[in-house]
Each structure stands twice: as C-alpha cells, then as structure tokens.
Structure 1
Amino acid sequence: MTTIIAFILMFGLLVFVHEFGHFIFAKRAGMLVREFAIGFGPKVFSFKNNETLYTIRLLPLGGYVRVAGEDPEIIDLKAGQHIGLEFNDEGDVNKIIVNNKSKHPNAHVIEIEKADLDHALAITGYEVDEEEKLHFKVDPKAVFVMDETETQIAPYDRQFASKTVSQRAMQLFAGPMMNFILTIVIFILLGFMQGIPADNALIGDVQEDSPAAEAGFQKGDEIVQIEGTPISKWEEFQQTVQNNPENELSMTVNRNNEMIELNVIPRRLETQDMVIGQVGVQIALEKSFIKAVPYSFEQTYMWAKLILVNLGKLVTGQFSIDMLSGPVGIYDATDQIVQTGFMNFLSWTAALSVNLGIINLLPLPALDGGRLLFVGLEAVRGKPIDPHKEGVVHFIGFALLMLLMIVVTWNDIQRLFL
C-alpha cells in the first residue's frame, strides 16, 4: 500500500507540474484552456472552474492541457442548420442550442445563413418559414449547448494559432521547463535536509565488519594520502580503491589534526561487467542551504547528461527497446526505492522529473518537442504549416507512441512476472 500511495503521489506531482507549466503560460498569453487533465481515458473525477474543466482520468500515462485551436473544434455551424438562441441582458447571444431545442422553449429558433464565431462574432439567419433576415451579435463567452453539455466558443484571439510565435513556443516549452525546475527544487531540499557531499575526501559513515572498520577508520577521518600520493577529492580516493581490489593500500588520514597511517585491503566486488574494490565507507555530508543551490544544478546537469547519453545509445543501437521501462517498470523500481527511505524516493522523483522534461523535448510528433518543431518551421518559413497536415502528423505520432508504450509495458510484465 505504501508503494501504491508513493507512486500515485509521485506520478501526480510530475504530471501536474508539467501540465501546470503549459496551463499557466497559456493563460498568460490569453488562450482559452478547455481542459486540464491528469491521465488519459475515461474520467474518474472532474469539476469546472471558470472556463476550464479539471479532470482526473483512468489511465496513468501522462496528462494534457487542451487549448482552443490546437485541435479542430468539435462543433461547427453550417448554413441551413437550425439552431436555438438565448440572449443575455445586453441582447447578445450567450447560448447556441445545437440540438434538443425542445428542451429550451424560450430559445429563438433560426435557420443559419452565415455564422462567424472566430472574428466578427455574429450570426445571420432567418426565422423558420420567414424571409426576413436577422442579425445577431454573439457574446465572446457564449456557449454551445449540445446534448445538454455546454462548451464555450473560442474567438480567434483566444485560440492557440492567434498568438505570436514566441508565445506559442513558450507555452509548449513551459511543461518541460517546469519539470527541470521541480528537479532543481527537489535537489535543493535534499541538499538542505540530507546534506551535500563534502568537498574533500572526508569519511562520513563506516560500515560494520567492513575492510575500513577492520583497518581502524573512523567517522570524520580525512584521507590526505594513498601510497604517498596526495588526495584532495573523494573521487580520487574512490577511484584508487576501486582500481585495487584485494591489494593492500597504505593511507594517511587526518584525525583531529593528527596524521595517522592505516593499511586497508579493499574487498573484491563483482558487478555485471567489471571487478572493483570496496572498503565500506561513505562520504561525509554537510548541511548548507547556500551550497545546496549549486549542488542541485550539478545534480540536475548530471542526470540530464546521463539521460541524453543513454538516448544516444538507443538511437545508435547500443541499447535495445527491451531495456526501456514503462509505467509497470517504473512502479517496480519505485517499490524497491521506497523501501530504502524517503530521501532516496525524493532523489528518484527528481531523476524522473528531468527525464520527463527531456523526453518531452524530443522532436517527435505529439510530444512538446514535435510541436515546437512546427512552430520553429513557421518562424523560418514566415507562415504556418497547414493545420490539418500538422494534425495528421501529430495523430500518427501519438498512435505510434501509444503502440511503443504497449510494447514497453508488455516487456515490463514479461520481465517481472513471466
């Protein structure tokens, strides 16, 4: 149960922060945000506030912010169509009844001649069986009523396409950007609560029954020399130990300003592809908010670099698709990490956040990076790509991504249960 709760909270946080980036910059640009969704598929929970429907959906495969104009509008008024109109106190149309007009006896029923809800915000038509042409002004926040469900109209100045290239690019980039910011914030918290690694080769904890414990190492010892070679950084100490499994090493340590000579034989440790030495010590941690800030940027950069290197290996064939993990694999990894403590869980959340940001910036259809690519092409060409062609590309891309998700999830299930 602990793992389930932790996974739901982690998933919800990552997706919420990502989509909130899209949401807030869409609002700042004046776009109409129709829906803010966590998950895909059938709605589990929903409520509406002002113009936006907020939903939690069944499938934990991501989320989305649906902005007017990004996809074709569901309702399109045609000449000859019969509709009902209701009006506000100023006499402007505030409800357009598309069907079930009998449920709205006070609606003014007309036959449409022309409807422009993008620019002019006007409807021209005739009363049924009458020849007199009527003109109606439409409120910018008027709603369609179809199957008794209200959908706000989207004048062109509220649509995605009406905004400048920079506003659209920022709205698309904001999701991944918020994931990077979340990663930095989490690592700052970790650095402040748990501490950050010391600058020098300073020992924190010494494991019981380890080579270091048997050799007499203590918490607070600073490694200053190994075999006569000066040591100033933990990485130098670590590298020397790893390169000398089962070889005795003479070390000089500074203990309370007293130099002490200790001899230790690193234990042999076999990993999947190498043999390394290990003495059983951990680096000392120091709590400092000032140092935690640069530490968080360093950790974010380190994880981003690692993810990009692995993506490069995937593209060049050094990694196979079988090595990828989907929701099932991430849940299993989360289960193992939760058991090691809250701090490790926080670090795992930060790593997944930067991973989500980078993956979404890949120039693939349906991802933020793919949409940014189209905006960039528009900036270069001086005119937008045909919206219908772009929509087809993103639809195909989304279908392929869902297919990849199914394959990866099946691989996870086989790896874990079969």
Structure 2
Amino acid sequence: MNTVISIIIIFGALVFFHELGHLLLAKRAGILCREFAIGFGPKLFTIKKGETVYTIRLLPLGGFVRMAGEDPEMIDLKPGHRIGLIFNKNNKVSKIVVNQKSKFNNLKEIVIEDADLEHKLFIRGYENEDEPAQVYLVDDKAHYYMDGSEFQIAPHDRQFGSKSLWDRFLAIFAGPLMNFLLAFVILVIFGLLQGTPTNQIDRVIPDSRASEAGLMDGDRIVSIEGTKIEDWSTMETLIQQNANNQLAMEVERSGERVDLSVTPESRETVEGQEPIGFIGVEPAYEVSLIRSLTYGFSTTVDWTKAIVVGVGQLVTGQVALDQLSGPVGIYSYTDQAAEGGIFVLMRWAAILSINLGIFNLLPLPALDGGRLLFIGLEAVRGKPIDPQKESLVHFIGFAFLMLLMLVVTWNDIHKFFL
C-alpha cells in the first residue's frame, strides 16, 4: 500500500510540474490553453478556472496541456446553417449555439451567409430571407455550443501556430525544464533535511578496503592522487573510476596530515557496463543552505550527464534494450526505495524527474523533443511543416512509443516476476 501511495505522489508531482511548465509559458505567450490534464482517458475530476479546464483522468500514464491551434479547430459554420446568437453588454456575440437551442433564452436565430472566427471575428447572416443580411461582431472570448459541449473560440492570435518560434520553443521546452528544476528542488530539500555528504568519513565498514588501508572514522579526505577533495561526490567519482587501481590518499586526522594508499575493489553494476570501484566508507553529513544548493545543482548535473551517457549507450547498442524499465520496473524500484525510507525515496523521485525530462527531450515524434525538432525545421526552412503531415508523424511516433512500452513492460515482467 505504501508503494502505491508513493507511486501516486511521485508520478503525480512529476507530471503536474512538467505540464505546469507547458501551461505557464503558453499562457505567458498568450496561447489559449483549453485543458490542463493529469492522466489520460475518462475524466474523474473537472474544474474550470478562467479559460482553462483542469482535469484528472483515469489512466495515470502522463498528462497534457491542450493548446488552441495544435489540433484543427472543431468550429464549422457554413453558409445556410441556422444558429443562435447571444450577445454581451457590448452588443458583441458572446455565445454561438449550433443546436439544442431550446436550452437557451434570449437567442437571436439567424441563417449564416458568411463567418470568420479566426481573423476578423464576425458573422454575417439574416433572420428572414426577405431581409438584408447583417454583420454581427464576435467577442474574442465568445463560446461555441454544439451537442452539449461548450468551448471558447480561438482567434488566430491566441493559437499556438501564430506565436513566434521562440515563444513556441519556450512553451514546449518548459515541460522538461520543470522536471530538472523539480529534481534540483527535491535534492536541495533533501540536503536541508538530512544534510549533504562532506569529505569527512563518518564510518569505515569493517573488513573493507578502506579498513585494510588504515582509514578511520572521522578522517577528512584532503586529496586523492593529487586531486583536491572538497566534497564527497568528487571522491566517490575518483574511486568508482579506479577499480583495482592503487590510489594515493592524503587525509586529515586530529589536525595532522596522514598519507595512505587504498586499492578500490571491483564491483559489478548493470550487466554490460564497466565495474566500479568501492572502498567501503560512509560520509558524514552537514546541514547548510549553501551546501544544499550546491549539492542540488551538482547532483542534478551529474545525474543528467550519467543518464544522457546511458541513453547514448542504448542507441549505439552498448546497452541492451532489455535493460530498460517501464511501469512495472519503476513500480518495483519505487517499492525498494520506499522500504529504504523517505530520504531514499526523495533521491529516487529526483532521478525519475531527470529521466522524465531527458526522455521528453529525445527527438522522437509525439514527445516534446519531436515537437522541438519540427520547430527547428521550421526555423531552417523559413516556413512551417504541413500541419497534417506533422500530425501524421506524431501519430506514428505515438504508436511506436506504445509498442516500445509493451516490449519494456514484458521485459520487466520477466525480470521481476518470472
């Protein structure tokens, strides 16, 4: 049960902040955002605030911000259609009723002769055939009502495609960026609550390489092979990169400098990857705002680099596809993290957030990276790609991602349960 709650909280936060990035930058650019959704499928919860409908949906597999203009507008006003109009106090059309007109009062019914709801914002029509047509100005926030559904019209200047390349880039890039910022914030809070690892040893594991080399509890690592050590991360990296290699180490003990030599033992990590060095020491922690900020930034950068390298190895075939984990694998790892306590769970949440940010930046159709790629192509060509062709590419990409998800999930089932 704790794992389920942890999954809901972590994934809810990751998706929420990712989509919040899209929403904030889109609204800043003046784009009409019709819906902010967490999950897919049938709606479980709906509330409207301002122009945007906020929803929670049944399938917790992601989320989306539906921006006007990304999909073809569903408004279809053709000559000869009879519609109803409702006006605001400025005598502009505030509601366009296509059918089920009996549900509304104070309707003015007209037959359409011409209409433009994107640029000039007008409807021209007549009440009776023997009367001349009149022009009715349409409010830029008018609503369109058909088949029981109501949504706001989107003038051209409120649509995604009308904005500059830079504004569109920011609106798309803001989602992954928020995941990196979220990881940074989680790690800073982690540092403030538990403290950040310093270059001082809190505990030497008995019968380890560190114990054999003469390292003791309380020793402060000054340098390794001439490299100055100011934080635990630098020391850890040097040790991990030198499995079975003897390292000269200078430590500070009771105010005096002591020279030691230690040879990290080799430990396997993931199949197909190089083993890492391990000496068997645990860090002392210090609570400090400055150190927490530094720790949050440096750890986010280090993990981002490591994940990018892993993705590169996957693309080049150095890492097999069966090493990827999907929902089942993430559930299993989250279960292990939850058993380790809140601090282990916080670090795992930060790792997942960075993974989500990087995954979404991959230049694949249906992902943010794919959409950024199309924006880049538009910048090079000087004109946008045909929207229908772009939509087809994204649809094919989405189908491919769903197939990949099935393959990865099947691998997870074999890995963890069979």
TM range (shorter): 0.7 to 0.9
* 1:306-345 Cα shifts (integer Å, max 9, x gaps): 1111111221122233222122211111111111121111
What amino acid does structure 2 have at the position aligned with 1:203?
A: I
Aligned pairs for 1:134-173 (under 5 A) are 134-173=134-173
Q: Could you tell me which residue of structure 1 aligns to residue 28 of structure 2? A: 28
Superposed displacement of residue 414, structure 1: 3.3
Q: Could you tell me which residue of structure 2 aligns to residue 220 of structure 1? A: 218
8 Å CA contact 1:196–1:291 kept in 2: the answer is yes
Aligned pairs for 1:12-411 (under 5 A) are 12-104=12-104, 106-127=106-127, 129-198=129-198, 200=199, 202-207=200-205, 218-222=216-220, 233=229, 234-235=235-236, 238=239, 242-243=243-244, 254-257=252-255, 280-411=280-411
Comparing 83-92 with 136-145, greater Cα deviation is found at 83-92
Counterparts in 2 of 1:357 and 1:274: CA distance versus 1, 3 Å: closer
Comparing 42-51 with 375-384, greater Cα deviation is found at 375-384
**CA–CA separation in structure 2 for the residues paired with 1:77 and 1:354:** 46
The alignment partner of 2:63 has SS state of strand
**CA–CA separation in structure 2 for the residues paired with 1:302 and 1:295:** 10
Percent identity among equivalent residues? 57
8 Å CA contact 1:250–1:261 kept in 2: the answer is yes
Superposed displacement of residue 105, structure 1: 5.2
**CA–CA separation in structure 1 for the residues paired with 2:389 and 2:396:** 11
What amino acid does structure 1 have at the position aligned with 2:106?
A: N
Question: What is the total number of aligned residue pairs between the two structures?
Answer: 411
8 Å CA contact 1:193–1:287 kept in 2: the answer is yes
8 Å CA contact 2:240–2:278 kept in 1: the answer is no
The alignment partner of 2:340 has SS state of coil
Counterparts in 2 of 1:263 and 1:324: CA distance versus 1, 3 Å: closer
Superposed displacement of residue 225, structure 1: 9.2
Superposed displacement of residue 189, structure 1: 2.1
The alignment partner of 1:60 has SS state of strand
**CA–CA separation in structure 1 for the residues paired with 2:325 and 2:276:** 28
Q: Could you tell me which residue of structure 1 aligns to residue 232 of structure 2? A: none
**CA–CA separation in structure 2 for the residues paired with 1:32 and 1:251:** 60
8 Å CA contact 1:241–1:279 kept in 2: the answer is no
What amino acid does structure 1 have at the position aligned with 2:282?
A: Q
Structure 1 unmatched runs, 5+: none
The alignment partner of 1:284 has SS state of strand
8 Å CA contact 2:239–2:264 kept in 1: the answer is no
**CA–CA separation in structure 2 for the residues paired with 1:317 and 1:270:** 19
What amino acid does structure 2 have at the position aligned with 1:156?
A: H
8 Å CA contact 2:239–2:277 kept in 1: the answer is no
What amino acid does structure 1 have at the position aligned with 2:181?
A: I
TM-score by length of 2: 0.88
| Root-mean-square deviation (Å) | 3.1
TM-score by length of 1: 0.88
Structure 2 unmatched runs, 5+: 230-234
Counterparts in 2 of 1:31 and 1:283: CA distance versus 1, 3 Å: same
* 1:48-80 Cα shifts (integer Å, max 9, x gaps): 111100011111211111110111112322222
What amino acid does structure 2 have at the position aligned with 1:405?
A: M
Superposed displacement of residue 216, structure 1: 7.7
What amino acid does structure 2 have at the position aligned with 1:406?
A: L
